């Protein structure tokens, strides 16, 4: 990727009472990209997020936000960050607009035009002057998102942002998030235990286990997948796979091939030329849940939050 990362975790380490919770974590987060953060219970997700927001000091390593060290230049670095942790706290007796106004006063130079812009972005124009006590959970989440975006952050952290939302509310929140990432060029970092939702929301996934980053992979536009080819005779199928330099695994009535979608027509042409009978060519891409369980040995996904 040619873009410069907005956030860089460099050898991030946390030791508490002799126990290493986070072990030399390195991760780059890019503008306009949504990165999901997954891990089993106790893997270190919450600890990592606390260090990224300055709520906890790293034992070693550092967090760079837009090139500035969170440790050395805290105010400048944290001014580029917006945060939503589970269900955002609001003053329910006040209107959505007054809640935003209250938050805007904590920052410099947030204009009425900027407030109106974020209200439009999250689709709250019609209800913004009503009391928050009348809002649904989904509307409160959108108001929290508007609040986090007011000061034009370059980096947005969301910890379990869809907790308690119904499927329609989750889909709505996901759409707003993707729109904001694309239009504002914000780097979004989402920690959640809803794997099917992460698969739809994120561009890539980072997986942590025992305080170490064990995998990071693209979710959208993945170039290579697995195809199951049922055909006969199998010996000829394997010979064609070898000729095309494709990795394959023999199955009972066919083979599994590692290849890009664009290679499928060439494979079929070669098989037909060899007079192979083709019964099926099916993509076998594993779901994010299957990949996660495979990598973590079936560990539980949800993070236990320590108070």
Residue 300 resides in a domain: no
Residue 1 resides in a domain: no
Which of 196, 218, 240 terminates a domain? The answer is 218
Cβ-contact 257, 264 below 8 angstroms:
no
**120: its two tokens:** 């439009």
Residue 167, pLDDT > 90, answer no
Report the number of distinct structural domains present in the chain.
Answer: 2
pLDDT per position as a tens digit, 237-263: 889 988 888 888 888 788 888 887 788
Q: Helix (H, G, I), strand (E, B), or coil: what is residue 28?
A: strand
Co-location of 122 and 68 in the same domain = yes
Co-location of 167 and 245 in the same domain = no
Please tell me the predicted confidence (pLDDT) of residue 282.
Answer: 81
The CA angle 41-178-189, to the nearest 5 degrees, is 35
Query: What's the rounded Cα separation, in Å, for the pair 238 and 161?
Result: 47
Residue 234, pLDDT > 50, answer yes
Domain that holds residue 240: 224-284
Query: What's the rounded Cα separation, in Å, for the pair 44 and 204?
Result: 19
Indicate yes or no: pTM above 0.75.
no
Residue 59 resides in a domain: yes
| 3-state secondary structure labels for all residues of 119-134 | HHHCCCCCCCCCEHHH
Co-location of 27 and 139 in the same domain = yes
Angle of the 137-149 helix axis to the 167-184 helix axis, nearest 10: 10
Query: What's the rounded Cα separation, in Å, for the pair 163 and 202?
Result: 17
CATH number of the domain residue 87 falls in:
3.40.50.300
Query: What's the rounded Cα separation, in Å, for the pair 205 and 34?
Result: 9
Q: What integer is the mean pLDDT of 48-52? A: 91
Which DSSP symbol is given to 37?
A: E
Q: Tell me how many helices (H) and strands (E) the chain has.
A: 10, 14
CA 151 distance to own-chain centroid? 22
Co-location of 252 and 178 in the same domain = no
Residue 289 resides in a domain: no
Q: What percent of the chain has pLDDT over 90?
A: 26
Which of 218, 253, 275 terminates a domain? The answer is 218
Q: Helix (H, G, I), strand (E, B), or coil: what is residue 39?
A: coil
Please tell me the predicted confidence (pLDDT) of residue 157.
Answer: 93
Tell me the Cα Rg of the chain.
23
Please tell me the predicted confidence (pLDDT) of residue 285.
Answer: 63
């Amino acid at each position: 990727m040619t873009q410069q990362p907005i956030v860089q975790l460099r050898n991030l380490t946390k030791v508490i009472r002799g126990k290493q919770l986070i072990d030399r974590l390195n991760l780059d987060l890019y503008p306009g990209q949504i990165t999901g953060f997954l891990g089993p219970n106790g893997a270190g997700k919450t600890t990592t997020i606390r260090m990224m927001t300055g709520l906890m000091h790293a034992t070693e390593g550092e967090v760079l936000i837009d090139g500035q060290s969170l440790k050395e230049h805290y105010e400048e670095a944290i001014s580029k960050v917006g945060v939503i942790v589970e269900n955002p706290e609001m003053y329910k007796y006040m209107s959505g607009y007054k809640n935003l106004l209250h938050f805007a006063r904590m920052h410099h130079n947030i204009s009425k035009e900027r407030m109106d812009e974020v209200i439009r972005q999250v689709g709250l124009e019609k209800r913004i002057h009503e009391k928050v006590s009348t809002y649904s959970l989904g509307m409160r989440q959108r108001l929290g998102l508007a609040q986090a975006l007011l000061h034009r952050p370059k980096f947005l952290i969301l910890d379990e942002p869809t907790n308690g939302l119904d499927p329609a509310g989750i889909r709505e929140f996901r759409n707003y998030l993707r729109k904001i990432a694309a239009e504002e060029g914000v780097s979004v970092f989402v920690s959640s235990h809803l794997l099917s939702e992460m698969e739809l929301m994120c561009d890539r996934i980072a997986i942590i286990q025992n305080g170490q980053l064990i995998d990071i992979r693209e979710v959208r536009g993945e170039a290579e997948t697995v195809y199951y080819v049922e055909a006969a005779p199998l010996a000829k199928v394997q010979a064609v796979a070898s000729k095309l330099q494709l990795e394959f695994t023999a199955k009972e009535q066919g083979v599994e091939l590692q290849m890009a979608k664009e290679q499928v027509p060439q494979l079929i042409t070669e098989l037909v030329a060899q007079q192979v009978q083709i019964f099926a060519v099916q993509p076998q891409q594993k779901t994010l849940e299957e990949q996660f369980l495979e990598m973590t040995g079936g560990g539980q996904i949800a993070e236990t939050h320590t108070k």
